[in-house]
Chains A and B, each alone.
Chain A
């Protein structure tokens, strides 16, 4: 699994980092981006799904490898 934050959609709600801090980083303004290349280790797949489901802006997508 791989995730991608759409930078045009992210408005810095910071829900993803609260749900899955292992998978996201914030810039100084609070906008989110996926860590490294967005690869999600098997054990964090559920957290990745939760981050997607909790984003009020629908800014996070699960992209296939």
Chain B
């Protein structure tokens, strides 16, 4: 892994650079002005479009831009890495439909959409609300909390565990596994590989159990589903469960955390959301736009020139949805957070056929988390803005964020 200083963001960008993770916005502004599709060789050849028009166009062009691997760093074992039995056992397990193209994408996605529909989310609102309330009960008397670690981080793993029908007491373990796989693991193959094996082994046990004793939960739904009259292959059920666990945790935790980070520093926005609760819908969309956490990758299927960039087969493209959402050509005053922004066609959940399948869940969790927090803690501030730590790479959000109430 290169750790050399960045020579030029246009030709040598580094999404793991600590300063970029803390504040990526000036970098995107500069790139949009002089070289809107940046390039780097840091993890093999990859490109990063920063204009909405380019991110959007590439998201629609699934013929040239495959989703076969949504991670930018190549998954290559380091020299001397010895495969374990589990590595071999889980070799072909993907994460459908996020890692699928073509027909496989179509049917695996159709399988997943009904349980994540707007209507299906209604049943999880009270579960989420009760959980948020109990989290707040745990720290409100202290007059302070870590809004990222004690609150934002605790919500998505609990809800997805409930949905999958697996013990919610395991939430902390899931969070740790997902961080090892996706956050620290992006730059540490052995750690990622071990975490992946732990998650898959656990899920496989759960799937085997649900086959014998199905319940009213997502894993049971998947093992009992049929596609064109055929049961869903075990490998797909496993891969999809893996996706649900991995994709649903640090993403939403990051959006809730970033939303609280913004509100901690903007009393006027807090006051408006408290006084005018009907603004929560536009408020959530605006916070999603301004602090979109997720940047997925695409892989070039063949040599292809896009907008003057000569991309080669196998090159990656980093779909910077967060940069697209700050493009002044698409959004008026993009760096201003306007809680009641009426026109906001943001692409925090991506665009095209890979639009985040969990977007309704993420929105619900965000809305409930902010409603409950503001109802009990309408006034709060960052203890020390310099002490907030951020995770970056392909999912950006605060990981430690001490706040003081009142």
Contacts and interface: CB of A to CB of B under 8 A. Distances in A.
Interface stretch (B110-118, B177-185, B191-199, B253-261): B110-118
A26 B351 contact: no
13 contacts: A11-B355, A13-B359, A14-B360, A15-B285, A26-B117, A28-B117, A29-B117, A53-B343, A54-B285, A54-B343, A56-B351, A57-B352, A58-B345
In this complex, the member of A13, A50, A56 whose beta carbon has the largest number of chain B beta carbons within 10 angstroms is A56
A30 interface: yes
Contacts of A13: 349, 355, 359
Interface string A45-65: 000001001111110000000
B316 interface: no
Contacts of B355: 11-13, 56
A56 B359 CA distance: 13
A14 B119 CA distance: 11
Contacts of A14: 118, 359-360
Interface residues of B, number: 22
Contacts of B119: 26
A15 B343 CA distance: 11
B366 to A, nearest CB: 13
A15 B118 contact: no
A17 to B, nearest CB: 7
Given A17-B118, A18-B281, A12 B113 contact: yes
A50 B359 contact: no
B342 interface: yes
Given A15-B345, A28-B114, A56-B347, 19 more contacts: A11-B351, A11-B352, A12-B355, A13-B359, A14-B118, A14-B360, A15-B285, A18-B281, A29-B114, A30-B116, A30-B360, A54-B344, A54-B345, A55-B345, A56-B345, A56-B351, A56-B355, A57-B351, A57-B352
Interface of A: 11-15, 17-18, 26, 28-30, 50, 53-58
Contacts of B344: 54
Given A11-B355, A13-B359, A29 B345 contact: no
Interface of B: 110, 113-114, 116-119, 281, 285, 342-347, 349, 351-353, 355, 359-360
Given A11-B353, A30-B117, A53 B342 contact: yes
B188 to A, nearest CB: 34
Contacts of A57: 351-352
Contacts of B353: 11
A14 B356 CA distance: 12
Contacts of A12: 113, 355
Nearest to A46: B342
Nearest to B321: A56
B343 A29 contact: no
B347 A29 contact: no
A57 to B, nearest CB: 6
A30 B113 contact: yes
A29 B346 CA distance: 21
Nearest to A11: B355
A53 B345 contact: yes
Contacts of A30: 113, 116-118, 360
Contacts of B114: 28-29
